[in-house]
Amino acid sequence: MSKEGVIHFSPGRLFWTGRLWYLGLTGHREADNWYPLFLLRVRRFSIDKRTRVNRQIRISPIRLIDEDGSQLGITPLEEALRIADERGLDLVEVAPSAKPPVCRIMDYGKFKYEESKKAKKASKRQHLIQIKEIKLRPKTEEHDFQFKLRHARKFLDDRNKVKFTMIFRGRELQHKDRGKILLEKVAEEIKDIAFIEIGPKQEGRNMIMIISPKH
């Protein structure tokens, strides 16, 4: 070990200064040690950039929490590492800014897995609902109607709302009842997965209906 406290390896090997990892690129040999002449700082290895685990924890003593949440008091770091190791668990720094830092004994791999599952579930709950628009005409033919209905089902399956807009042109405004009947037919066709939220109602020259998914 040198005056700087570096464990010396031959060039091309990583070594630890007590704070950072370095890569020796060149060096000279003295007795049984290689002394680096040029060092390259490299990224420190860690499981998580924000959480210190096991030997990544540097401060001693620590306030130790057992895996069941009970307080084990102020404990030397090496003793806490020994306890965790004997149980086949990890020592995780959960409150690094506390004095002394708070560490907990746990299965860190399992903890990360559970956190990942919770994050995915929360992401699903935070789904941004969009309103998809489908346009119809009072004279929309059956095959075109069914085609648009399939699109509506897909939008609803993705948990989006669907706005049906019945467009009247020219003399069609004199037969608004036909447009309303077609919108009611839409609602009847997809009542198994959706319900009417708004309408059918007149909006300017058009008639609209908004449906929402049941689940």
**Per-residue buried b or exposed e for 183-214, using 16+ beta carbons within 10 Å of the residue's own CB:** beebbeebeeebebeebbeeeeebbbbbbbbe
The structure's pTM equals: 0.44
Does the pLDDT at position 151 exceed 90? yes
Return the percentage of the chain with pLDDT > 70, whole number: 75
Q: Which of 120-129, 161-170, 177-186, 201-210 has the lowest mean pLDDT?
A: 120-129
pLDDT of residue 68 exceeding 90: no
pLDDT at 118 over 60: yes
Looking at the fold, whether 77 and 6 belong to one and the same domain comes out as no
Handedness of CA 147, 150, 152, 158 (dihedral sign): negative
Q: Indicate whether 137 and 209 sit together in one domain.
A: yes
The domain in which residue 68 lies consists of 54-123
What CATH number is given to the structural domain containing 98? 3.10.20.80
Whether residue 151 is found in the same domain as residue 204: yes
Instruction: Give the pLDDT score at 127.
Output: 61
Overall number of domains in the chain? 3
Residue 61 reports pLDDT greater than 70: yes
Is the predicted pLDDT of residue 155 greater than 90, yes or no? yes
Of 100, 123, 146, the position where a domain reaches its end is 123
Which band of pLDDT confidence, cut at 50, 70 and 90, is reported for residue 122? Answer: confident
